Amino acid sequence: MFRLILWVIILLLVTFFVVFNVEPKVSVHLLPGFTLEGIPLSLVIIVSFLLGLLFGAIIFFPQLIKAKMRINHLEKELKKIQSQAKEVTESAPDSPSS
């Protein structure tokens, strides 16, 4: 619940930032011959930030999947070794006879 409230507060702050900063207006040249004109600079800043986050997440995602697969593999190995150790301790005599 706390995360939801935090995200709502952040979105409200970003919204206020964009609404109250509509000047100056800038032209954004996306491709040769394709220009967006009259875009508020604050909107350009926020969209650029979000695109950077998206590209960073796309680059990080394969490494995250690889790490999770490695963790799952190691957890399976650990369970196997623990079960083998349990079998060995159960089959071993309790104490040596003197």
Per-residue model confidence (pLDDT) at position 64: 92
Q: Is the pLDDT of residue 98 over 60?
A: no
Interatomic CA distance for residues 52 and 59, integer angstroms: 11
| Residue ranges covered by each domain of the chain | 2-88
Q: List, for residues 55-97, the tens digit of each pLDDT value.
A: 999 999 999 999 999 999 999 999 999 999 988 888 877 656 5
Report the alpha-carbon distance of residue 92 to residue 81 in Å, rounded: 16
DSSP line for 28-78: EEEETTEEEEEEEHHHHHHHHHHHHHHHHHHHHHHHHHHHHHHHHHHHHHH
The chain-wide mean pLDDT, for the chain, equals 86
Q: What is the pLDDT of residue 23?
A: 80
